[in-house]
Amino acid sequence: MALFYHLLIFFLLTLAKSEDRLAEFCNNDKTYTRAKTSSNIDNVLSQLVVKTPLSGFANTSFGSGQDAIYGLAQCRGDVSTEECVKCTADAAKQIRQVCTNQADARIWFDFCFLRYDTEDFVGKLDTSFGVFYFNVENATDPEAFVEKLGGLMDRVRAQGVGPTSRGLGKDKLKFSPFVTIYALVQCTGDLSRLSCAQCLATAVSSFHTYCEYRKGCRVLYSSCYVRYEIYPFFFPLDSSKKAEGSYSRAIVHP
């Protein structure tokens, strides 16, 4: 079975196009030298590449004792299975390139997220490391924009913690005749509804610090993802409207 996984991940990696990663976290406090740990990481990644596209989320583990590795991967809930396959395979490839000797590693792309660790983190809320992308331009009529955005985020957060949502919420709101706000939230599939609500609340509360009045913002945590823009970014896309603006990035370490 292990050989099958390795052959399949090799096949998928050869098909995957190179995606631009949004961020990565390589924990230098958890470097390793044992070949067994590296082998277990490869086995976890192989399983995640195979299993994640089946439902959009997967968690797994491999090994035991000090060499045990726990892994999780999730695709954004609105993307196709084909895009999930490509993104997960590329995440598995790039995380080994950028976090070469770290046994606690995480990587974010637009369409997916992947992580592994020597500790069993599954089901545990984690907002210790955050990445924030924000549009450098402010919205027109910023006070009204913030008010409308708040109502929209309340709706998508409520969707995200719903019993059948699988952690995903998305919606849009007409702000003016020429401006529509689009928003999406998603929690990783291992979280309880309460932990999901807590993660989303933490992410949205960070808007005040990093994204207030901005035309767009993206918050990346290990347990949830929150984004809003004034152009469509989730599927099905409105091809008549395009992305706009430049973005800056802030990274918050534990």
Picking from 163, 231, 238, 227, the residue whose alpha carbon sits closest to that of residue 197 is: 163
The number of beta carbons lying within 10 Å of the beta carbon of residue 91 is 29
Q: Work out the percent of the chain whose per-residue pLDDT is above 70.
A: 89
Q: Are 172 and 208 in contact (CB under 8 A)?
A: no
pLDDT score of 176: 96
Q: pLDDT-based confidence at 11, cuts 50/70/90? A: very low
pLDDT score of 6: 42
Q: Are 103 and 118 in contact (CB under 8 A)?
A: yes
Q: Among 15-24, 59-68, 172-181, whose mean pLDDT is lowest?
A: 15-24
**What residue ranges in 155-241 does DSSP mark as E strands?**
168-176, 179-187, 217-220, 224-229
d(CA 114, CA 45): 9
pLDDT score of 217: 97
Supply the DSSP string of 7-53, one letter for each residue. HHHHHHHHHPPPPPPSEEEE-GGGB---HHHHHHHHHHHHHHHHHHH
Reduced to 3 states (helix: H, G, I; strand: E, B; else coil), residue 103 is coil
Which of the 8 DSSP states describes residue 253? -
Reduced to 3 states (helix: H, G, I; strand: E, B; else coil), residue 113 is strand
Whether the pLDDT of residue 5 is over 50: the answer is no
Average pLDDT of the chain, as a whole number? 91
Q: List pLDDT tens digits, range 24-77.
A: 999 999 999 999 999 999 999 999 999 999 999 999 999 999 899 999 999 999
Over residues 163-179, the mean pLDDT reads 95
Q: List pLDDT tens digits, range 78-93.
A: 999 999 999 999 999 9
Whether the pLDDT of residue 251 is over 90: the answer is no
Higher-scoring residue by pLDDT: 137, 1: 137
Q: Taking the model in full, what pTM does it have?
A: 0.89
- Domains of the chain are 2-117 (3.30.430.20), 130-252 (3.30.430.20)
Q: List pLDDT tens digits, range 107-154.
A: 999 999 999 999 999 999 999 999 999 999 999 999 999 999 999 999
